[in-house]
Amino acid sequence: MIRILVLCTGNSCRSQMAEGYLRHFGKDRVQVKSAGLEAHGLNPYMLQVMKQDGIEMHSGSSNTMEEYKHLDFDIILTVCDHAKSNCPYWQGSGSHLHQSFKDPANAEGSEEEKVMVYTKVRDQIKIYCQQLINTI
């Protein structure tokens, strides 16, 4: 079983989406956790667009990386530049991967326009996660 930790700034959108897709595509081959430098709570737009794609987000919480510092991971994946530059070295962990995604929480405009931004970022994360699972 491959253990993956996904990190972003607030563990409210991008890392949560990546966790959902890595679990979905990895099935019983992976154990995935997500966390942030801070915990900003689960973003309702993220929950909405993930549900639209058939991914129910069951974690129910936003976590900080401090909660997992005692665990070893095979892969540490940062999904934003801020997390990459501020993530402490994770002792005992294998690969460190980075793929930055636009923060959909910065979306402006109408409800429809915001959902479109979240959907676009979701789809980018989905493709990346599927490719990552296919390579491991």
Tokens (6 digits) for 58: 């069951």
Give me the average pLDDT of each 10-residue run along the chain (136 residues). 94 95 96 92 94 84 87 92 73 80 95 97 98 96
Instruction: Write down the pTM of the prediction.
Output: 0.93
CATH number assigned to the domain with residue range 2-135, chosen from the 4 options 3.40.630.40, 2.60.40.10, 3.90.79.10, 3.40.50.2300: 3.40.50.2300
Amino acid 32: pLDDT: 95
Strand, coil or helix: 98? strand
| Residue among 7, 8, 65, 105 flagged as catalytic | 8
What does the pLDDT read at residue 91? 56
Task: Check 77, 80, 121, 133 and give the catalytic one.
Answer: 80
Residue 92 is predicted with a pLDDT of 57
Residue 80 bears catalytic tag? yes
Cross-strand partners of 97 = 77
**pLDDT score at 126:** 98
- How far is it, in rounded angstroms, from Cα 74 to Cα 96? 9
Task: State yes or no: is 129 an active-site residue.
Answer: no
Residue-level pLDDT at 37: 87
User: Contact 125/17 with Cβ under 8 angstroms?
Assistant: yes
